[in-house]
Structure 1
Amino acid sequence: MTAATSITNALTIDVEDYFQVSAFAPYIRRDEWETRECRVERNVNRILDMLSGHGAKATFFTLGWIAERYPQLVRRIVAEGHELASHGYGHERASDQSEPDFLADIQRAKQILEDLGGVAVQGYRAPSFSIGTRNLWAFDCLQAAGYQYSSSIYPIQHDHYGMPDAPRFAHPVRDGLLEIPVTTLRMLQRNLPSSGGGYFRLLPYGLSRWMLRRVNAQDREAAIFYFHPWEIDPEQPRVAGIDAKARFRHYVNIDRMEARLDRLMGDFKWGRMDEIFLRPAATPA
């Protein structure tokens, strides 16, 4: 077994529904969420079945809004040995919130998840990787709220997010708080996205697999891969009136995603963020 194939990578799922994505915010008001058909429960259950079939573990960054409505889903995630982590309460970007509002949001989400799951919530991921150079105070809030790690920075150049000069791998940002960025491949003096989402749907599967293997072999680091439950759901309701860029990014190759994920789970070793980067998760007294 090579060093690359022996590395356990972190598989992460951002638990939100199709109508909650940031790109659709100009088209779907928050007060419409309750009227939309929710599909997150069936999609997460399919993901859990897939993980079980491969004997893989994962981290589920879960919205408090979702957890309140599907407590049984939260309990299944925990019962099957996966990590329950926070994605905030209502999918508001950290960069769009004031410091007090952000602190209240991450505290609210953490409390909801811990009450429903019965486990300590140690990790947080900002919606749309929305921690960057202009709101590094968010790390102070995460530290104050009792989180032990964040996975909220994407060290690439992107029109909606990104901090290309940030470290590529796990590093301390406050006392007792790690930032664990999603994975990039360093090539041609720039960081290339290689950790999931729309890029994984757009690029040929073989290229995505090669990039992850290269990070394992060359950098000798665990990769952090992410995706969303709505990405395995080609039958989700289509959102009308969206611009061409948002339509392409959201729907490109969505019908191929589940099969690609199944291959990915078989081609690499996958585990939880906390067990790779922290001590094992604890249960509150």
Structure 2
Amino acid sequence: MKDLHTCLNAMTVDVEDFFHVSAFDKIIKPTDWENFNPRVDNNTRRLLDIFARHGVKSTFFVLGWVAERYPQLIKEIHAQGHEIASHGYAHRRASEQSREEFKQDVVRSKQHLEDLLGEAVIGYRAPSFSIGYSNEWAFEVLVELGFVYSSSTYPVKHDLYGTPDWPRFAYNRPENIIEIPIPTLKMFGRQVPIGGGGYFRLYPYGMTRHLVRKYLEKEKQPYSFYFHPWEIDADQPRLTQASAKSRFRHYVNLQHTEAKLERLLQDFNWSTMKDVYGVNA
């Protein structure tokens, strides 16, 4: 049974493979990617089947590297009624790029996706939520390239990202783009991350459900959730050369994610970013 809340919430997927993630960028370079056996095609198709069973539409933030290698996958996502958005091309954090490097990365992704789909791509998410204090110019670039919304900030303190004093809910940026931050819940004098990803795998499902319900009741705002196809893949290779911290972040509770996701889809109401936040080209 669906949750009693009538609020429609945004389901999002960052379409990247296990060897793309920032947790491993100290041991895996982009030039190494071709040495791995990709798993993203199969894992994403598994997600499509799960979403179809529950009648859920999602926004897929697609990495350009993936789109170039699996064009039929991207077309299939689109054909099933999901939204396609950009995750950049090479999964390099926006905060580590110059303005021109960032623009070139995003252009390469956006143009390829639009060529595949035959329609405008209006949403963008920076790898590792890497738009922040040092690179607000990234919003100007996104507007210049025709994006209508971004979901590239996480108002928490984290060693890889975080803009804790930035807005917590969708808002219009001065650059004329809508920014949709990853959700947090104010508790015990701090902002608790509740948007998905590793936190979803770490928390018991009952805790996640409680926090989402509390967010909806307290904030009267839509909730948005994010995760990755590799998070339902417990059989992926283990990279033993990564640090203990990185291994924990990446591998914790992978075997339970799919079952948790099924419950999440049942307990709340879901759709795309476009539908939930009313953003259009």
**2:139–2:175 contact (8 Å) kept in structure 1:** no
- 1:56-95 equivalences under 5 Å are 56-95=56-95
* Structure 1 residue aligned with 2:263: 263
Amino acid at match of 2:74: V
| Partner AA of 1:274 in structure 2 | K
Change (3 A) 1:279 1:135: closer
Identity among equivalent positions (%) equals 53
Q: Which residue of 2 aligns with 1:106?
A: 106
User: What displacement does 1:174 show?
Assistant: 3.4
Which residue of the partner structure matches residue 178 of structure 1? 178
Could you tell me which residue of structure 2 aligns to residue 215 of structure 1?
215
In the TM superposition, what is the alpha-carbon distance from 1:173 to its structure 2 partner? 1.1
Aligned letter for 2:82? H
CA spacing shift, 1:260–1:74, aligned 2, 3 Å: same
Amino acid at match of 1:222: P
Q: Does the CA-based 8 Å contact 1:95-1:135 persist in structure 2? A: yes
The alpha-carbon deviation at position 104 of structure 1 amounts to: 1.3
Q: Residue deviations 1:161-193, cap 9 Å, x none?
A: 000001100011135311000111111222100
Secondary structure of the residue aligned to 2:191 is strand
Q: Report the more deviating stretch, 64-73 or 100-109.
A: 100-109
Q: Deviating runs (4+, > 4 A) in structure 1?
A: 1-4
Aligned residues: 281
CA drift of 1:2 comes to 11
Partners in 2 of 1:246 and 1:252 — Cα distance?
10
Question: 8 Å contact 1:122–1:274 — kept in the other structure?
Answer: no
Distance 2:44 2:267 in 1: 21
5 Å-filtered alignment, 1:86-165, equals: 86-165=86-165
Q: Distance in 1 between matches of 2:75 and 2:179?
A: 26
CA RMSD in angstroms comes to 1.5
Gaps of 5+ in 1: none
SS in 1 for 2:5: helix
Is residue 17–residue 39 contact of structure 1 (8 Å, CA) maintained in 2?
Answer: yes
C-alpha distance in 2 between matches for 1:3 and 1:208: 13
How far did residue 278 of structure 1 move?
2.7
Measure how far apart 1:66 and its partner are. Answer: 0.3
Structure 2 CA distance for partners of 1:214 and 1:74, relative to 1, 3 Å: same
Which SS does the other structure have where 2:164 is aligned? coil
Indicate the SS of the match to 1:162: coil
TM-score by length of structure 2 reads: 0.97
CA contact (8 A) 2:68 2:112 kept: yes
CA distance in 2: counterparts of 1:217 and 1:2, whole angstroms: 15
Counterparts of 2:175 and 2:163 in 1: how far apart (Å)?
A: 21
1:114-144 Cα offsets, whole Å, 9 max, x none, are: 1112231110000000011111111111111
Equivalents in 2 of 1:273, 1:226: separation in Å? Answer: 11
Partner of 1:217: helix, strand, or coil? helix
| Aligned-pair CA distance for 1:35 | 1.4
Amino acid at match of 1:118: G
> Partners in 2 of 1:29 and 1:216 — Cα distance?
40
Change (3 A) 1:13 1:2: closer
